[in-house]
A and B are shown apart, each in its own frame.
Chain A
Amino acid sequence: MSAQPVPDAFDRFGQSVSERASPMVVKEIRQGLRTRTFWIFFTLLLIACMVGALIAFAASSTGEAGGGAFIAFFSMLSVVQFFVIPFTAYRSMAREQDDETWVLLTLTGMGPRRVIFGKITSFVLQGALYSCAAAPFLLFSYFLNGIGLPTILFAMCFAAAYQVFLVSIAVSIATAAHTKLMRSLLQFAVLAILFQGLMMGIGGGSGLAQFFRRDSVDFDFIFACGCVLFAMLSTAALLFESAAAGLSLTTENYSRGPRIAFLVQIIGGTLLFAASAQVMHSTRVLPFGSALVSAYAVFIGTYIAADLDGLARILEPKRGSVLSPGAYRGFILVTTALLLCNGVLLVMGFTTETREKDLVVMIAAPAFALFYLALPHLVGRVLPRGSTPRHVMVRIVSLAWLLVGSGLPPLIGALVSAPDDEWLNLLNPVVGIANIAQRTDNLSIQLVVIWLAAVTAGLATLGVLRRNDR
């Protein structure tokens, strides 16, 4: 009779990690390491890096080959990290829904957030395995001269964040489709997005290698990179929370995650614009920031605020919170965030030497946003919707409203030989703002009219949503 083998320290450590890790991570790693895709690409990556290293070594005798070698190794790793892994993540999530294993996961009590987080984490960890394989080659490029160690480390961190971003996009797209046909169609969209993402990733890596001189640090560049990182990671968080919300039951507080992510992004973005105005010593950033925050509130805010009316009985004790489900609370949250963030930028504009024209744009931008945010909610509740859910109807109306608002006035104007007429385009979110930024006559009256329209639309929407919430 053979004795039971005694686990060594390494085994015990492995068991301890596996016990603590999320079940989804353990499952996905087990499945991932068994797939042919993983081993084929792992082998190909190693072979490609090996060949690249030999070529780079041969080229190093003639000069600094480190920069070129780094770009080559980074590109090889990018194919796997920015394309293969996110696409595998999409397929994995889509298969979970196709095979109806998703409902079984939900019933375990893990909840959509834990499941999706586990998925994303496991694919990022698989990416880390590929990175480990490519890391010696990336470091090797340092010894070939022409690239600094901080650049390599910075690029690797950036690549990791970019991979999280792409995996989040892929997984959230997989959760957005509710039919097999839709998922098959979306597969092409994912491929296109990831291909573009791959090109941008390789371009970004190459840009980093070109920009950084050995051991030199440019603060503005670091700040810009920080802003891009914030944008990527906060968008990944928003996508993750939205995907989890889409898969939650109406009895769960599904709106909390996306709304917090929205707040983080809009407040963080505002603060970054305020900081960049200080860093770059330029107040021109402020109107740009105000316009961007307003546009963000219209597009993402409409998605956040467009929700079912009312909330499940179980959630009623939390009724007062703007993070609880319901279009009424969603609208209050988005409107408040829009006005507060623009208020901060405006106060900053008034306290610094900002041009008057820029200040006018900063006053008008939130009014346009409020107007285009509020009206779709009203129209969406008046129109007959058939089998389309109310929140989907609001999102459709919002897009249509933006197209009509920005396209129709210039069209009518063209017929009467005045395509950019200031009164005709007063509520046009594109030409209207451009007119305000360029012209000076009738400015006060125009601002009053725009704000009057926005406040009226906002209050009317608030009233209707409040009535429907009861």
Chain B
Amino acid sequence: MSLLEVKGVSRFFGSLKAVDDVSFTLDEGTILGFIGPNGAGKSTTMRIIATLDVPNEGEVTLDGRNIVERPDQARPLIGYMPDRYGTYDDMTVFEFLDFFARAYRLKGAQRTQRVDSVMDFTGTLPLRNKLTSELSKGMRQRVALGRTLLHDPKLLLLDEPADGLDPRARIELRELLRALAAQGKAVLISSHILTELSEICDTCAIIEQGRLLATGPVQEVLAASGGAAPHVELDLKLLDDSQAVVQACERLLLEQPLVSKVSLSGGPVIHVRLELPPGTPLTAQWSDQACAQLIKLLVAREVPLCSLSAKTLDLEDAFMSVTKGRVQ
């Protein structure tokens, strides 16, 4: 049984269907990326799971407990971080975490120990006595993440956690989330930064206009994303950009069974599209093997290859494909 089961959840605001018959599951130790444009229903779904809103239809069970009927039983299992981190400006990092630890009914030494361990995990221990208003956005986000971990929840709901963070803070967040998943926590994360999600998520759910368009392991969603067949795109750069060399290379590439399309840029760069045989799952291993095979061939035929860069189909492509590009 999955830790989180969302079954046919709908939420209406008057005549507007903010969430329409959404169903998905999330297991312990996995990270699910919740993808969708603004107003797609991501935050409403997250608020329902966080017991902050009640669905008009459907059920949500967390660890076997119906959170719609017994939100009080579900709340201790949930760590929710809204898109605004919700820190108090006039409190120090310790005071902020200590307050929430008290609110979660942690007492005395146990509370101090828990706050210290959370600060240690999130790397905010050196900032213990700093006011949260004096922190950078990345650090404030770490403090907010620390708050969600205080009561050791099984499920983490993170609404746009990477929004507005610099690249370094994003990488650090990714590492923290991986560490949390390794501890067995289920993480539901929504974000617009799809490249970030594809690197950390095991599963994903694509939502648009309140409806869930695709859900499942990332590779399955990529493979099943409608419109384009699973493919890998390569950019080959040649040392010699004379027309004869480029055209010879083009002919050679087109003879290969995996190559479905070759396009020239007019310079030394050739765009190549490799398509997978039907039924073959698109994996990083397949992509690497295909590239190695191609390099071997080009080197054997003495093509003056300078560099090769591969771009596999990622969540961004899947999202655009699944949503038919109707991004708002």
Q: Are A107 and B50 in contact (CB under 8 A)?
A: yes
Q: Report Cα–Cα, A296/B160, bound state, in Å.
A: 48
CB distance from A118 to the nearest CB of B (A): 10
In the complex, A399 has a CB within 8 A of chain B: no
CB contact under 8 A between A35 and B52, given known A27-B99, A108-B103, A249-B71: no
With A101-B87, A109-B103 given, name 9 new contacts (CB 8 A): A27-B88, A31-B91, A99-B88, A103-B50, A104-B80, A109-B72, A109-B105, A250-B54, A251-B71
CB-contacts of A5-33 with B (<8 A): 19, 23-24, 26-27, 30-31
A105 & B103 in contact (Cβ 8 Å cutoff): yes
Interface string of A18-53 (1 = CB under 8 A from B): 010001101100110011000000000000000000
Q: What 1/0 flags go to B258-290 for Cβ under 8 Å of A? A: 000000000000000000000000000000000
Chain B residues contacting A110 (CB-CB under 8 Å) are 103
On whether the beta carbons of A26 and B82 are closer than 8 Å, the reply is: no
Residue in B54, B102, B105 whose Cβ sees the most chain A Cβ within 10 Å: B102
Name which residue of chain A comes closest to B95, CB basis: A30
Which B residues fall within an 8 A CB radius of A? Answer: 14, 50-52, 54, 68-72, 75-76, 78, 80, 82, 84, 86-88, 90-91, 95, 99-100, 102-105, 107-108, 147, 151
Nearest 5 A/B pairs, CB to CB: A23-B102, A108-B103, A101-B86, A387-B14, A27-B99
Check: A106 CB closer than 8 A to any chain B CB. yes
B52 with A106: CB separation less than 8 A? yes
Task: Give the residues in chain A near B50, CB-CB below 8 Å.
Answer: 103, 107
Which chain A residues numbered 250 to 292 have a C-beta less than 8 Å away from chain B?
250-252
Task: Closest A residue to B14 by CB, please name it.
Answer: A387
Report the separation of the CA atoms of residues A103 and B87 in the bound assembly, to the nearest whole angstrom: 12
Q: Which residue of B lies closest to A102 (CB)?
A: B86
Query: Would you call A439 an interface residue if the criterion is a C-beta within 8 Å of the partner chain's C-beta atoms?
Result: no
Chain B CB within 8 A of A218 CB: no
Residues in B with CB closer than 8 Å to A313 are 69
Q: What B residues does A30 contact at CB under 8 A? A: 91, 95, 99
User: For A103, what are the chain B residues with a Cβ–Cβ distance below 8 Å?
Assistant: 50, 52, 80, 82, 86
Given A101-B88, A107-B75, A19 and B108 contact (CB-CB distance below 8 Å): yes
On whether the beta carbons of A31 and B75 are closer than 8 Å, the reply is no
By a CB distance below 8 angstroms, the chain A residues around B84 are 99-100
Q: Report the minimum CB–CB distance from A126 to chain B (whole Å).
A: 14
Contacts of B82 in A (CB 8 A): 100, 103-104
What are 26 inter-chain pairs, A to B, with CB distance below 8 A? A23-B99, A27-B99, A30-B91, A35-B90, A99-B86, A101-B86, A104-B82, A104-B86, A104-B147, A107-B50, A107-B52, A107-B78, A107-B80, A108-B100, A108-B104, A109-B72, A109-B75, A109-B76, A109-B105, A249-B51, A249-B54, A251-B68, A312-B69, A313-B69, A314-B69, A387-B14
Chain A contacts to B: CB under 8 angstroms: 19, 23-24, 26-27, 30-31, 34-35, 99-101, 103-110, 249-252, 312-314, 386-387
Residues of B within 8 A of A252 (CB): 71
Measured CA separation A27–B71 after assembly (Å): 25
The residue on B at minimum CB distance from A313 is B69
Provide the bound-state CA to CA distance between A24 and B103, in Å: 8
| Complex interface: chain A residues within 8 A of B99 (CB) | 23, 26-27, 30
Considering the complex, give the chain A residue whose CB is closest to the CB of B92. A30
Contact between B51 and A107, CB atoms less than 8 A apart:
yes
How far does the alpha carbon of A312 sit from the alpha carbon of B99 in the complex, in Å?
32
Docked CA distance A99–B90 (Å):
13
Q: In the bound complex, what is the Cα–Cα distance between A215 and B136 (angstroms)?
A: 62
Chain B: minimal CB distance from A334 (Å) = 26
Q: Are A23 and B91 in touch, CB under 8 angstroms?
A: no
> Which residues of B are found within 8 Å of A23, using beta-carbon distances?
99, 102-103
A101 surroundings in chain B (CB, below 8 A): 86-88
Residues of B within 8 A of A24 (CB): 103
For A106, give the chain B residue with the smallest CB separation.
Answer: B52
Which residues on B sit within 8 Å (CB–CB) of A100? Answer: 82, 84, 86
Which listed residue, A31, A109, A251, touches B90 by the CB 8 Å rule?
Answer: A31
Return the chain A residue nearest B52 by Cβ.
A103
Please name the residue on chain A nearest to B89 by beta carbon: A99
A27 to B96, CA, bound (A): 8
Q: Which chain A residues lie closer than 8 Å to B51 at the CB level?
A: 107, 249
Question: CB distance A104 to B71 under 8 Å?
Answer: no
B54 CB contacts on chain A under 8 angstroms: 249-251, 312
A30 to B71, CA, bound (A): 30
Q: What's the least CB distance linking A5 to chain B, in Å? A: 16
Q: What residues on B are CB-neighbors of A107 within 8 Å? A: 50-52, 75, 78, 80
Asked if B88 contacts A31 (CB within 8 A), the reply is yes
Shortest Cβ gap from B273 to chain A (Å) = 45
- Please indicate the chain B residues that have their CB under 8 angstroms from the CB of A386 in the complex: 14
Cβ of A34 and Cβ of B90 under 8 Å apart? yes
How far is the CB of A350 from the nearest CB of chain B, in Å? 50
Residues of A within 8 A of B86 (CB): 99-101, 103-104
Q: Which chain A residue shows the least CB distance to B82?
A: A100
A34: nearest residue on chain B (CB-CB)? B90
